[in-house]
C-alpha cells in the first residue's frame, strides 16, 4: 500500500478523487491518494470532515477486494479500523477503542474517522475506496469530542512517518482478510469494541433506552440488549446513536 502515491496539495475530497482514479484500468490496487488540504471532506451519515491544512492525514486507499463476498462487506470496515487501532497500540496508546462501525477513539474522544465507498459489479466488489481522516498535529477543534495524536502524546509528529506506519498496519490486516482469517479478525474487532458489555444510553427512532452492546450480527449491524426487556436488537448505522 502506498507504492503508488498520488499527492495533491489541495482537493475537495480524496475519496472522490480516488473513486475517479478507479475508472482508469492503470490504477493499481494499493494506490494512496493524499492531500495537504481537503476542502470538502466527506464523512459518514452525510456529515463533513474538517481538518486544518497541513496538520493531519487525510487520504484514501484504493482496494480491489474481488475475493470478498458481498455479504462480508462489513469486514472492510473492520480491517481498516483494526489496522489503525494496531498502529496506535504499537505507538503505546493503550486506551484506544473502535466505536462501531469504524470510528477510532482514544478515551472518549474521536481520533480517526473512516469512510468506505464500494464499487460493485454483479455480485463482486470491483473497487473499494477506504478514506481515512486521522488527526495528527491539530490541537484545536470546533467540537470537544475530537482529539489528535499531538494532544494524546504531547509531542508533534511527522506526517510522512505516521502515514508509512499506518499503511503497514492496514496492509497486514488486509492480507489477513485475503487469507480468510475471518474468525480472528472478528474476534480482534470485538475485543476492542467501544462500550462493549457496558451499560449505556442509546437513542433509536426517537426513543431513548439503556442497554448493553453485546457484539455485531452476521451483517455487521450493532447488537444491543435492552436493559428493560432484555431483548436483543441489531441496528444499522442510521438506526442508532450513542448518548452516554
Ligand atoms: C467519519 O467519521 O464520518 C468519516 C470521515 C472520513 C474522512 C476521510 S478524510 C479522507 C477521505 N476523504 C473524504 O472525503 N473523507 C475521507
Query: Which tens digit of pLDDT belongs to each residue from 39-63?
Result: 999 999 999 999 999 999 999 999 9
Span from the CA of 134 to the centroid of ligand 1 (angstroms): 9
Range(s) within the chain of domains with CATH label 2.30.30: 199-242
Q: Give the other-Cβ count within 10 Å of 19's Cβ.
A: 20
CATH code of 5-191, in short, is 3.30.930.10
Write the CA distances from 78 to 89, 152, 161, integer angstroms: 16, 23, 23
Pocket of ligand 1 (CB under 6 A): 13-15, 38, 41-44, 47, 49, 58-60, 103, 113-115, 131-133
| pLDDT at site 86 | 98
Ligand 1 atom closest to the CA of 40, numbered from 1: 14
Residue nearest to atom 11 of ligand 1 (CA): 131
Q: Which atom of ligand 1 is nearest to the CA of 112?
A: 2
Architecture of domain 199-242: Roll (2.30)
Give start-end residues of each CATH 3.30.930.10 domain in the chain: 5-191
Find the mean pLDDT for residues 201-217.
Answer: 97
> pTM, whole model, 2 decimals?
0.97
pLDDT at 57: 98
- Structure confidence by residue, pLDDT tens digits, 105-163: 999 999 999 999 999 999 999 999 999 999 999 999 999 999 999 999 999 999 999 99
Q: What is the mean pLDDT of the chain?
A: 97
Atom of ligand 1 nearest to the CA of 13: 14
**Contact criterion met (CB below 8 Å) for 130 and 38:** no
| Dihedral Cα 226, 214, 45, 189, nearest 10 deg | 170
Q: Is the dihedral of CA 237, 179, 19, 69 positive or negative?
A: negative
| Phi/psi of residue 79, nearest 5 degrees | -70, -35
Name the residue of 131, 135, 147, 241 to mutate for ligand 1: max ligand atoms within 8 A of Cβ. 131
The residue contributing the CA closest to ligand 1 atom 2 is 113
Amino acid at each position: 500500500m502506498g507504492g503508488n502515491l498520488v499527492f495533491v496539495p489541495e482537493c475537495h475530497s480524496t475519496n472522490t478523487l480516488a473513486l475517479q482514479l478507479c475508472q482508469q484500468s492503470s490504477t493499481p490496487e494499493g494506490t494512496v491518494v493524499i492531500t495537504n488540504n481537503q476542502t470538502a471532506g466527506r464523512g459518514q451519515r452525510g456529515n463533513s470532515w474538517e481538518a486544518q491544512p497541513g496538520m493531519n492525514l487525510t487520504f484514501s486507499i484504493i482496494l480491489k477486494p474481488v475475493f470478498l463476498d458481498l455479504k462480508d462487506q462489513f469486514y472492510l470496515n473492520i480491517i481498516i479500523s483494526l489496522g489503525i487501532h494496531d498502529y496506535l497500540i504499537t505507538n503505546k496508546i493503550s486506551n484506544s477503542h473502535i466505536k462501531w462501525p469504524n470510528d477510532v477513539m482514544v478515551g472518549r474522544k474521536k481520533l480517526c474517522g473512516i469512510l468506505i465507498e464500494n464499487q460493485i459489479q454483479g455480485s463482486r466488489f470491483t473497487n473499494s475506496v477506504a478514506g481515512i481522516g486521522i488527526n495528527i498535529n491539530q490541537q484545536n477543534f470546533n467540537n470537544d469530542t475530537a482529539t489528535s495524536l499531538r494532544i494524546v502524546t504531547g509531542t508533534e509528529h511527522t506526517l510522512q512517518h505516521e502515514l508509512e506506519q499506518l499503511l503497514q498496519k492496514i496492509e497486514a490486516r488486509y492480507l489477513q482478510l485475503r487469507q480468510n482469517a475471518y474468525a480472528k479478525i472478528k474476534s480482534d474487532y470485538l475485543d476492542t469494541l467501544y462500550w462493549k458489555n457496558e451499560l449505556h444510553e442509546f437513542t433509536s427512532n426517537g426513543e431513548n433506552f439503556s442497554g448493553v452492546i453485546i457484539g455485531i450480527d452476521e451483517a455487521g449491524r450493532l447488537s444491543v440488549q435492552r436493559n428493560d426487556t432484555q431483548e436483543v436488537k441489531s441496528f444499522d448505522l442510521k438506526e442508532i446513536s450513542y448518548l452516554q
